[in-house]
Amino acid sequence: MPWWNAKDKKSRVPPRTGKFVSESVKRKISRSRKRRLKTDPKFRALLSRQAKHLNSPKVHKLGVVTRKKPGGWYDIGLRKRMLEDNPNQRPEVQKKISEGKIKSFKDPEVRKRHKEGIAKHWRSKGNIEKRKRYAKQMIKNVLATTRPNGSELKLKTILDRNFPGEFVINVTGKVSIGRKVPDFVHVGGKKVLVELFGTFWHTMADRVKPRSKAAAIIERRRHFWKFGYKVVVVWENELWRKYEKKIVCRIRRVL
C-alpha cells in the first residue's frame, strides 16, 4: 500500500523525507527502479504518465517544471509570481503588521515579557558559549570596518610630526587592553597610550547623568593603569595649532 493511502496517520509521511541518503543507497534505489521498469508494466505506465504531465505545454506555461533552464528544476518566474500573490508582501498589509507591532510594544508588559524571554534564551546553558562567540565576532566586524575620523587624523599628524614612528593609530582594534581599545599606542617599547576624547561622547553621551571631563579621564586612566600603562588624554578642542606644544609636553613627560 502506498504511503499516501495508509490508514495510520503517522505512516502518511513520504519515505526518506528530510533524511540524508548516501551514494550507496542511491545506487541501490536506481538498480531497483531499473529492474522494476523491465519487469513491471504498471510501473512503466505510471512513469510514462508522469513524464507526459511534466512535459505538457500546460505545465510549462505555468512554469512549474523545466529541464531546459540551467538554474535547475524550479522556475524563478513561478517563485516570483508566488511572492507577488502572497498577501503579506503587499505594502498595505506590511504597513498594518508594522503598526500592530509598534502598538503592542507600547505596552510595558509586552516589552517586559520580550526582554525576559531574550534574557532567558541567552542565559541558558547551551547559549553561553554562543553568546561569547557572537559578541567577539560582532566587535571584530565593527572594528574591521572602522576608519579614523577627522579629529583622529589631526592628532595622528601632530604625533607623526613630533614623535615620528613612535605612535600608531589603533582604531581597528589590533591592540586591545582589558577589552578596551586605546586610540594611539606607543610602539617603541614603552607602555604609553594617547587617548582622544570627544566632548559629546565622553561627557554628554549619558544624558541622565552627564560626567565632568575630570571624571571621564579618571575612569579611563584607572582601567589602563591596572595593566601598567600610562595614559595621556587629549580633548578634541585642543587640536588647534596653538595647543600643540602643550600636548607634546604632556606626552614627553610620561615617556
What does pTM read for this prediction? 0.48
More confident site: 205 or 13:
205
- 139 and 73 in a single domain? The answer is no
Which among 65, 84, 103 is the end of a domain? 84
Same domain assignment for residues 30 and 69: yes
Query: Quick one: 241 and 158 in the same domain?
Result: yes
Q: How far apart are CA 48 and CA 131, in angstroms?
A: 54
Checking if the pLDDT of 71 tops 50, the result is no
Q: Is 193 left (phi over 0), alpha (psi -120 to 50) or beta?
A: beta
Q: At residue 167, what are phi and psi to the nearest 5 degrees?
A: -120, 140
Residue of higher predicted confidence among 69 and 39 = 39
One domain for residues 154 and 247: yes
Same-domain pairing of 248 and 155: yes
- Overall number of domains in the chain: 3
- Domain identity same for 130 and 168: no
User: Which range is least confidently modeled, 127-136, 224-233, 242-251?
Assistant: 127-136
The answer to whether residues 159 and 180 belong to one domain is yes
Q: Is the distance from CB of 37 to CB of 44 less than 8 angstroms?
A: yes
For residues 240 and 158, state if they share a domain: yes
CATH number, position 237: 3.40.960.10
Q: Do residues 17 and 32 share a domain?
A: yes
Same domain, 108 and 52: no
Residues 237 and 170 in one domain: yes
Give the pairing of strands 192-197 and 184-186: antiparallel
If asked whether residues 165 and 248 sit together in one domain, one would say yes
Taking each helix axis from N to C end, the angle separating 244-254 and 150-162, rounded to the nearest 10 degrees, works out to 60
Q: What percentage of the chain carries pLDDT values higher than 90?
A: 15
Label residue 86 by pLDDT band (50, 70, 90). confident
- Where residue 249 falls among pLDDT bands split at 50, 70, 90? very high
Can you give the residue range of the structural domain that contains 110? 92-143
